[in-house]
Amino acid sequence: MHCHKAFELKATTLLKIFNQLDVWRKPDEFDDFILACEADYRGRLGFEKRDYPQAQYLRNVAEAAKAVNAKVFIEQGLTGTSIKEAIAKARLEAIQKVKQQHKLDNNSDQ
């Protein structure tokens, strides 16, 4: 159900989902997850031809989070768990930016 409610999810929840799906190393499994969610949505009577914007939104959010990598933090002199923490924080910030932009884009359409 998280996928169907993607627009309502907190950035921390989205990051948790991405970590659980390991989008960082298994992008194909993330694609399968999105496909299954879309099939579930469109498999409901009357929803067969409806748009499913959550799919693209989640792809956009995931891509923003995946753009964060350890190299920057290593160059800053971070080591060990400090790198992991910095990556998580940067990914969360990237997710929040996409969420904010999505909100702005959708408010301007109304």
Q: What is the pLDDT of residues 40-99, one digit of tens each?
A: 999 999 999 999 999 999 999 999 999 999 999 999 999 999 999 999 999 999 999 999
Domain layout of the chain by residue ranges: 6-108
Pair 12, 92: CB distance under 8 Å: yes
- How far apart CA 55 and CA 45 sit, in angstroms, is 19
CB 34 within 8 A of CB 3: yes
* Residue of 49, 48, 62 whose CA lies nearest to 9: 62
Per the CB < 8 A criterion, the answer to whether 95 and 15 are in contact is yes
Band the pLDDT of 108: cuts 50, 70, 90.
low
pTM, full prediction: 0.89
